[in-house]
Structure 1
Amino acid sequence: MNRLGTALLAAVEALVTVGVGVGIALVPLTLLWGFEYGLQVDWDVFWKAAGSVWLVGHGVDVTFVLGSTVAKASGVSGASAPIPVTLAALGFAVVTVWLGARAGRRFAETEHRVTGVLVGTGAVALLGLGLALSSTSAATRPSVWQAIVFPALWFGIPALVAAEVCRRRRGLGPDPVTARVLDQLDRVPAVWRSIAGFGLRAGTTATACVVAVAGILVGFLLLGSFAEVITLYERSHAGLLGGIALTVGQLAFLPDFVGWATAWLVGPGFAIGTGSSVSPIGTTLGPIPGLPVFGALPAAGHTFGLLWVLVPVLAGFAAGGLMRSRLVRALGSADSALHRALGGVSTGIVAGLLTGAIAWVSSGSFGPGRLADVGPHALVVGAFAALEVGVPAVVALAVGQDLVRLPERSWTRERWHESDEPVDQPSEGSLLDALERAGAGRTTDVHRFVVEEAHHPVGRTTAAEPDTNTNTDTDRVTDTDHHVELPDWARTGGVADVPADTAERAGGMRDRLRGAADGVRDRAGGLKQRAGGLRQRADGLVQRADGLKSRASDLRERAGGLRDRVTGADADRVDTTPDDRPDRHRPESPEAAGARDQQPAFPWSTEEFVAGRDDVDEPPATPAPRTTSAAPTASTTPPKRWDQTDQVPEDELPWWRRPQSDR
């Protein structure tokens, strides 16, 4: 994608981001305009309200001016004066951050990601300016410069971070601006870069753990106070569409509630109006707005409320202990208790800054009078978080041991590629050159020895020499092309005419090569023994298989004999039982096959079976003498034998009822 295409993509992403955020507020208000007000009010009023809500959701200060009638009806002191609303409905900002990160990942797929980030951020700034101008009226006055800057920051920073992370994961080259920033960072000493990087990673992890626990706590409070929340919904008399709009507005403030719970876990808590306080120690509330979500606020302090302060303490200790091995590897030779303690201090600083930022964006003014002070105090919450996370991290890093061993990970995955740089060759006549020509390989590299063993031992033979192991003639030619004549000192072990230092190095290298050869020989012997054991086990398995095959054949023969005795089969009948042995195969006669197909399996009765002649041993019949004449005579015709049961000739009986004989 070219630069113009990337710019158009960024503009579309910015338009979609702003459109989704404004639509979340505009759809419920449009439904109210159509169903509750019956289209009697100008739709422009609801458009300005939706634009103001979206700007408030990104931290833009919007001043509301109520009419005298509405101010008197509210009964709130100071309602007739301009009411600045600076408490951000962070739900809209979260949507913008999410869509901005998605846009950044798409920008990273192009060659002009910087162009995409800049154009997208500029487009969001222009759209924010348009919304601020279109939302300005006698009742609403948004800050124009904040409408340009704040939404652009909520979109641009996540897009830039996501694009940079994707660039590093894919191993792409940095752009000129990023390359300059990285060059400046490389000038910082490696020790301080390792400490700062560890603090950023561990502090972010600890803060994320505390925020996650705060989110779970908010969910449990809403579920536990479900009855109070429903009661406040009923008292509002908002109706169906009003209830939907009220619910959407409260969901927009849900990230603020999580930020308040984070401040509550840290210890200082938060306030809902001037003079109020909600903390683990106690709760002091005055008049508060009748929003249903405020029904989940604790009415008083908790007996074991201070135990919740252990959440950031445990988060800091776990982050330091679990990631201690990473810091040790990053420091390398500079590893010491002092440097690890500095890593814990940086962890506390990062956690304090992040927690203070969360408290700052979730606090502000929410209405006139005492509602001008809502949310936690950013400096106090940040200081408490830095201490509660930093001190346990210092203890875990400087004094404790590794809780786990984390694997070494880098921003980019390992990539193997061939180097185009030429390899330095040893000078001619040197020791390395002699070893290279002798086939020893480069002694400055690490070599892997691979041993391949044949199943049968093969000896060195000359050309056309018969191989006694395989009983075949193979052509074996000795390879003399790569044979290099060794020097006298290398062949005999002498060191004549060789400098002392060269001789010493040669002896050391020769010992190393001899040791490597011995190791390879030992491994080859072990592999040969294992191969012999496997061969013996294979022979045993073959013998067992032959024995089982013999037993199966015997059982098959015995089964055939028992079947013949039970059915009274004729001995002359061809055995059709399949046999694995080729010398025992007897094909089935056509007459026997036809008789088997025509007759049932058991056609005789019990009396016939009992009266049968299966257990009578009769002498075999004498075969009739052969004659030379072509036609048979009466003297050669055998006499008929009669069955004792039915008194019919035996030759007319079916084959299964004929008496057995040893013919």
Structure 2
Amino acid sequence: MSTAGSRPTARSRPTARSPRRSPVLPDLGPLLGAAVRAVLFLLVPVLLLCIVGWIASVRSTSSLAAVARVGADLWLLAHGADVAIVGGTIGVAPLGVTLLAGLSARRAVRMWLADQVEAERPVLPGPALGVFTAAYGVLTLLVALVARSGVGAASPLGALLGGCLVGGLGALAALWPLRPATPPVVPAWVVAAWRPAAAAVPALVAVGSLLVALALVRGRADVLALHEALSPGVVGGALLTLAQALLLPTLAVWGVAWTSGTGFAVGTGTSVAPGGTSLDVLPTVPVLGALPAPGATPALAWAAVALPVLVGALAWVLAARRGPRVEGLLHRCAAALVHGALTGAGVALLCALASGALGHGRLGEVGPDALLTGVVVAGEVAAGAVLAVLLGRGWRAWRGAELVIDLPGAPGGAPRTPRKLLGDDRPTP
């Protein structure tokens, strides 16, 4: 029995500061809220733009609910989910919206990280990545189920997997600075391959974007003629231009496939490649007016195939200065091959998102062949990286050529042995 003046024992004292948390899982509530914010941050503007276009169109007979479903299907397409429509399927992702979705996920996770740091809570990047990725994927699945109708229905499995992919990549970009150290069992030449690959994939997309820009400048007359033929009006024209701007990253991936030599299709039996262009009737999309005219292309067009090789070599050289040093010619060549394989896998993923169907019939095949393009790009990038390794080896060997100089005898008459000079060594007086 304790008196008023007695102190409580250690067992009777209240727990200090805050309740005990699980050492494995992070706070689920804030992460789920971050996933909801990431979804709504982009989904709501897409829905609003579709509604604005519906209001501006005086000839539209669709209901507001149908227009909202179209906006949801567009958002789901950006996550890699094929949308089944009457008589066909749409499977080409607008990669501009995909990029915005990834940035939205990255922003939401960074906001969660800032709250965790401000509250001085521990951050476990692995569990946080898993929880956010799963939550984002489930929310994408729910949007696909709610937006289903008799006119269009997104694939539930594609929505789940695509949501996990896009949300997971965005969260990974936010959590990357907190990544754990690489296990020592992983060879150094494997670790040295991811950095040039991470630089080569966006560099290739930048090259594809440059080609698209040049094509738009060259075919601007046809693009403007197609735009005027649609007579979209002021608001409709602005929305049409915005929609095509969001489609430009998809066309940039097509440009990457063109530089690889494999090319891409804009309909069944068509081909756009350095070797020539074969086209059929195109969809009424003004930006497609920038495609090259059917027929043989100049032989100089095959010089574009050297661009992935140059990108692979430059990415390797620039990353080798900042990444871990790999000893041995054989290990460096192995790292260059892994660099090419990782780059090819990234390009194949982008090509898979940028290809598919745009309806039925002749538009059942649009975009590049993902597997073929990925394999070819992997070989070209690896060839450039291996060439950079061999040239670097030759350059170092040339600078470090052995020169044997016979030095005169020492002042005391003792003979002095010849000395070998390597690189920038200079003879001592």
Helix, strand or coil for the counterpart of 2:84? strand
Q: Which letter does structure 2 place at the counterpart of 1:349?
A: A
Q: Distance in 2 between matches of 1:39 and 1:315?
A: 47
For residue 8 of structure 1, report the CA deviation from its aligned partner: 3.8
- After superposition, the Cα gap between the structure-2 partners of 1:379 and 1:130, relative to the gap in structure 1 and judged at 3 Å, is closer
Q: Count residues in correspondence.
A: 366
- After superposition, the Cα gap between the structure-2 partners of 1:16 and 1:403, relative to the gap in structure 1 and judged at 3 Å, is farther
% identity of equivalent residues: 31
Are the equivalent residues in 1 in contact too, given 2:268–2:366 (CA < 8 A)? yes
The answer to whether residue 369 in structure 2 is matched with residue 377 in structure 1 is yes
- After superposition, the Cα gap between the structure-2 partners of 1:402 and 1:194, relative to the gap in structure 1 and judged at 3 Å, is farther
Q: Which letter does structure 1 place at the counterpart of 2:208?
A: A
The answer to whether residue 306 in structure 2 is matched with residue 295 in structure 1 is no
- After superposition, the Cα gap between the structure-2 partners of 1:38 and 1:350, relative to the gap in structure 1 and judged at 3 Å, is closer
The partner residue of 2:301 within 302, 305, 313 is: 305
The match for 1:274 is: 268
The match for 1:393 is: 385
- After superposition, the Cα gap between the structure-2 partners of 1:287 and 1:304, relative to the gap in structure 1 and judged at 3 Å, is same
Helix, strand or coil for the counterpart of 1:330? coil
The partner residue of 2:75 within 38, 54, 63 is: 54
Q: Which letter does structure 2 place at the counterpart of 1:29?
A: C
The answer to whether residue 133 in structure 2 is matched with residue 133 in structure 1 is no
Q: Distance in 2 between matches of 1:340 and 1:97?
A: 33
- After superposition, the Cα gap between the structure-2 partners of 1:29 and 1:357, relative to the gap in structure 1 and judged at 3 Å, is closer
Show the 5 A alignment for 1:117-516: 117-163=129-175, 165-168=176-179, 185-188=183-186, 193-299=187-293, 300=295, 301-324=297-320, 330-331=325-326, 335-401=327-393
Are the equivalent residues in 2 in contact too, given 1:105–1:166 (CA < 8 A)? no
Q: Distance in 2 between matches of 1:143 and 1:292?
A: 28
Q: Distance in 2 between matches of 1:214 and 1:256?
A: 10
The partner residue of 1:106 within 95, 101, 111 is: 111
In structure 1, the gaps of 5 or more residues are 66-81, 169-173, 405-663
The match for 2:402 is: none
Q: Distance in 2 between matches of 1:374 and 1:280?
A: 17
For the pair shown, the structure with the greater C-alpha radius of gyration is 1
For residue 37 of structure 1, report the CA deviation from its aligned partner: 4.3
* Bigger relative contact order (CA 8 A; separation at least 6): 2
Are the equivalent residues in 1 in contact too, given 2:223–2:290 (CA < 8 A)? yes
In the TM superposition, what whole-angstrom CA distance separates every residue of 1:540-589 from its partner, at most 9, and x where no partner exists? xxxxxxxxxxxxxxxxxxxxxxxxxxxxxxxxxxxxxxxxxxxxxxxxxx
Q: Distance in 1 between matches of 2:62 and 2:389?
A: 65
Q: Distance in 1 between matches of 2:389 and 2:238?
A: 50
The match for 2:410 is: none
Range that drifts further, 10-19 or 378-387:
10-19
- After superposition, the Cα gap between the structure-2 partners of 1:400 and 1:233, relative to the gap in structure 1 and judged at 3 Å, is same
Q: Distance in 2 between matches of 1:10 and 1:403?
A: 52
For residue 207 of structure 1, report the CA deviation from its aligned partner: 3.0
Show the 5 A alignment for 1:69-88: 82-88=87-93
- Where has structure 1 moved over 6 Å in runs of 4 or more? 1-5
- After superposition, the Cα gap between the structure-2 partners of 1:402 and 1:199, relative to the gap in structure 1 and judged at 3 Å, is farther
The match for 1:90 is: 95
For residue 99 of structure 1, report the CA deviation from its aligned partner: 1.6
For residue 47 of structure 1, report the CA deviation from its aligned partner: 1.1
For residue 6 of structure 1, report the CA deviation from its aligned partner: 4.8
In the TM superposition, what whole-angstrom CA distance separates every residue of 1:339-363 from its partner, at most 9, and x where no partner exists? 2221222222222222222222211
The partner residue of 1:19 within 21, 27, 40 is: 40
In structure 2, the gaps of 5 or more residues are 1-17, 117-121, 397-429
Q: Distance in 2 between matches of 1:143 and 1:162?
A: 28
Q: Distance in 1 between matches of 2:43 and 2:113?
A: 27
Q: Which letter does structure 2 place at the counterpart of 1:330?
A: R
Show the 5 A alignment for 1:27-66: 27-37=48-58, 41-65=62-86
For residue 12 of structure 1, report the CA deviation from its aligned partner: 3.3
Helix, strand or coil for the counterpart of 1:152? helix
Q: Distance in 2 between matches of 1:148 and 1:352?
A: 24
In the TM superposition, what whole-angstrom CA distance separates every residue of 1:469-520 from its partner, at most 9, and x where no partner exists? xxxxxxxxxxxxxxxxxxxxxxxxxxxxxxxxxxxxxxxxxxxxxxxxxxxx
Helix, strand or coil for the counterpart of 1:304? helix
- After superposition, the Cα gap between the structure-2 partners of 1:39 and 1:364, relative to the gap in structure 1 and judged at 3 Å, is closer
- After superposition, the Cα gap between the structure-2 partners of 1:397 and 1:48, relative to the gap in structure 1 and judged at 3 Å, is same
Q: State the Cα RMSD in Å.
A: 2.8
